[in-house]
């Protein structure tokens, strides 16, 4: 009989030593494997975070989502169903992996009439409907789902799927999927905000162009007219406004010298509302009015014709226009005027040191056909001051909510006229008082504010008859 080998002291003391070494090695390998998996997962999540910071094209980012879910969770595939900003299905951005799973499912989603409606993704019953469609499509698979939410709004649904016999859905898996879903929600939210910003930038550019065009339509400077000083300013509440004033020679074919001593049309108007629509309508009216001035008709006839021309366009836009039209003869100092429900200009008489309103009966432009307008006339005397203005001046609110109002405007006009100031100085002082009243550095004007000051020269005399 063969003798047994002698047992070493180490084996005697530690009979399971070899078994312990094997178990220890297996445990070490497992720990290393888990550590390596954690590192890989961390790298994947870091890559997604980097993509979120770097991509400006949301489609490129969303294409990564199913791939990332399959890598993180270790499943066969993943499906992303995002919603547009209005809550409808964003079918153009459906993403799935593997791609051979998409045709039939995508067809069902594209044909889902409910999914095309605004607010679809904001209703729980619709989310449940999506889950049923996906579950039926993957009826032989194990499916888990999570919502993509950003700032309290449903932004989509994210799914992971694998074979029935593959068990997944542990807390770790769900946490990984939720992290991806949260980052996806941020990406979709960012894209929605970028779209809003882009649209605002486009509108801002258009408004800036409109404001530039409109500013070019207002006179760059006041004309030189014999015996009077003129000063004018328009301060729109927005970049584009509905206020309008103009100075037009009734005979533009004359020389500059002849025009200076001829007849001029002075007009100020205001389109109901403000912003781009009001500015566009006022631009249209300006062209019509300039054509009417060339006819040389009296102010009431011009307003009548202008009302006829503009009635259809104004009716369709549901807007009306107030307009004060006057013409001034530099040789006789006679001012004729007609008013289409505009704020009556204020006339400060140098001789009596008093203020009167220049007014005549008339309806808004665009209110009704065949409107009738009255015509008034007055001779201006040396030192007289005439102030045209829009209601944005008198309706301007102060800090306490009180309006600037006409009485306050009359008080200041009377004060500055008595001081013997020139037209430009009076205009500057009036705007200074208006700005101080509304605290313009802290509060914007609610409406466009325009003023035109005409002052008859102190030494102005009528030509002698021969």
Q: Kindly indicate the confidence band of residue 370, based on its pLDDT and cuts at 50, 70 and 90.
A: confident
Residues of the chain with CATH 3.30.450.40: 55-194
- Residues 264-318 have pLDDT tens digits of 999 999 887 655 666 677 778 888 999 999 998 999 999 999 999 998 888 887 7
Does residue 466 carry a pLDDT above 90?
no
Where does 218-456 sit in CATH, by number? 3.60.40.10
Does residue 101 carry a pLDDT above 80?
no
The answer to whether the CB of 446 falls within 8 A of the CB of 396 is yes
- Residues 116-135 have pLDDT tens digits of 999 999 999 999 999 999 99
User: What number is the average pLDDT over the span 322-350?
Assistant: 96
Q: What distance in Å separates the CA atoms of residue 461 and residue 457, rounded to the nearest whole number?
A: 9
Q: Which of 8-22, 51-65, 240-254 has the highest mean pLDDT?
A: 240-254
Quote the pTM value. 0.60
pLDDT of residue 73: 84
pLDDT of residue 121: 92
Locate 351 and state its tokens.
Answer: 């001789």
CATH superfamily, domain 55-194, is GAF domain (3.30.450.40)
| Closest to 95 (Cα-Cα) out of 157, 45, 20, 154 | 157
pLDDT of residue 398: 85
Residues of the chain with CATH 3.60.40.10: 218-456
pLDDT of residue 68: 86
Does residue 462 carry a pLDDT above 80?
no
More confident residue, 421 or 236: 421
- Of 187-191, 326-330, 339-343, 431-435, the range with the lowest mean pLDDT is 187-191
Tell me the pLDDT of the chain averaged across its residues.
83
């Amino acid at each position: 009989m063969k003798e047994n080998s002698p047992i070493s002291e180490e084996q005697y003391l530690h009979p399971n030593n070899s078994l312990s070494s094997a178990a220890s090695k297996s445990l070490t390998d497992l720990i290393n494997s888990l550590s390596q998996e954690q590192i890989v997962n961390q790298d994947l999540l870091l890559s997604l975070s980097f993509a979120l910071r770097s991509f400006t094209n949301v489609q490129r980012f969303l294409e990564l989502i199913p791939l990332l879910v399959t890598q993180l969770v270790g499943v066969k595939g993943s499906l992303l169903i995002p919603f547009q900003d209005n809550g409808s299905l964003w079918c153009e951005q459906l993403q799935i992996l593997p791609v051979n799973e998409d045709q039939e499912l995508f067809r069902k989603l594209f044909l889902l009439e409910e999914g095309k409606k605004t607010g679809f993704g904001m209703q729980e019953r619709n989310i449940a409907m999506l889950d049923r469609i996906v579950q039926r499509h993957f009826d032989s698979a194990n499916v888990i789902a999570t919502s993509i939410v950003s700032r309290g709004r449903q932004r989509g649904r994210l799914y992971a799927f694998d074979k029935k016999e593959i068990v997944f859905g542990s807390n770790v898996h769900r946490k990984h999927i939720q992290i991806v879903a949260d980052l996806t929600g941020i990406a979709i939210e960012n894209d929605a905000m970028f779209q809003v910003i882009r649209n605002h930038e486009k509108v801002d550019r258009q408004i800036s162009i409109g404001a530039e065009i409109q500013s070019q339509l207002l006179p760059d400077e006041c004309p030189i007219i014999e015996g009077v000083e003129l000063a004018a300013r328009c301060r729109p509440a927005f970049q584009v406004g509905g206020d309008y004033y103009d100075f037009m020679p009734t005979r533009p074919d004359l020389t500059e010298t002849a025009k200076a001593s001829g007849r001029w049309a002075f007009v100020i108007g205001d389109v109901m509302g403000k912003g781009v629509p009001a500015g566009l309508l006022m631009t249209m009216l300006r062209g019509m009015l300039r054509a009417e001035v060339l006819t040389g008709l009296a102010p009431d006839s011009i307003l009548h014709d202008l009302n006829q021309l503009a009635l259809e366009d104004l009716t369709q836009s549901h807007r009306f226009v107030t307009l004060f039209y006057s013409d001034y003869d530099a040789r006789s100092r006679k001012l004729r005027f007609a008013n289409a429900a505009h704020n009556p200009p204020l006339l400060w008489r140098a001789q009596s040191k008093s203020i009167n309103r220049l007014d005549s009966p008339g309806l808004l432009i665009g209110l009704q056909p065949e409107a009738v307008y009255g015509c008034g006339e007055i001779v201006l005397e040396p030192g007289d001051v005439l102030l045209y203005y829009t209601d944005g001046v008198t309706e301007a609110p102060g800090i306490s909510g009180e309006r600037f109002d006409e009485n306050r405007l009359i008080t200041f006009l009377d004060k500055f006229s008595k001081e013997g100031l020139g037209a430009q100085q009076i205009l500057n002082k009036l705007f200074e008082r208006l700005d101080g009243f509304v605290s313009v550095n802290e509060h914007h004007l609610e409406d466009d504010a325009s003023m035109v000051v005409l002052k008859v020269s102190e030494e102005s005399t009528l030509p002698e008859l021969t």
